[in-house]
Structure 1
């Protein structure tokens, strides 16, 4: 079964953490999980302040910047994994949270349909 692991962080969660330490934690996770062959893809998103929300109302297109700016957590990236069970997907998600430290959550959702990019 395929799962999307959507990673959320609080802005500033990495403040005060040296970039080297951050990168090492992420690298250890990517190395460990890539060796299992369960990762089909990953996406790292740019800063949320560069995003936009597009809505159509009564035929008019509305574009607002800084999506969900009032929220404490923002989507920062995701992994697509293929594993034998929901429990295994949860275990992989827990590894992500462990690599990231506080202020982070990982939403696990089954993928019911996918196309392109090997996913």
Structure 2
């Protein structure tokens, strides 16, 4: 089953040497997961001010430059993993959490698990 481990970051946080160390830990974990065959993809994301909202209004594409909203935290990166079970996904999420020294969010994907009837 596939899972997304989402990494968040405070929007006003300044990059420090601790972040360099966290990045090194994440890169080592990424390599380990690639070698085990569990890594599907992982990426860090550009800051919110580089983002855009793309939507269709009255049949026309409308693009709005970021940043968006008043959120104190923004999605900073993710790991997409394919594991045998939920327990292994939680173990990986725990390791990502340790690497970034902060909480992460873990979610299973719908397609790999099967779309629940209530979401159809």
- Please tell me the TM-score bracket, short chain as reference: 0.7 to 0.9
Aligned match of 1:110: 109
User: Higher helix fraction: Structure 1 or Structure 2?
Assistant: 2
How far 1:111 sits from its partner (Å)? Answer: 4.3
Q: Tell me, what secondary structure is at the counterpart of 1:112?
A: helix
Cα deviations by residue, 1:83-105 (Å, 9 ceiling, x for unpaired): 11112112211211111113x42
Map of 1:42-81 to 2, 5 A cutoff?
42-81=42-81
Distance 2:24 2:10 in 1: 20
Whether contact under 8 Å (2:30, 2:42) holds in the other structure is no
Whether contact under 8 Å (1:9, 1:105) holds in the other structure is no
- Mark the runs of 5 or more structure 1 residues left unpaired by the alignment: 114-119
Q: Tell me, what secondary structure is at the counterpart of 2:17?
A: coil
Map of 1:13-32 to 2, 5 A cutoff?
13=13, 15-18=15-18, 20-32=20-32
Q: Tell me, what secondary structure is at the counterpart of 2:11?
A: coil
What TM-score results when the alignment is normalised by the length of structure 2? 0.72
- Runs (4+) of structure 1 exceeding 6 A deviation are none
Whether contact under 8 Å (2:90, 2:106) holds in the other structure is no
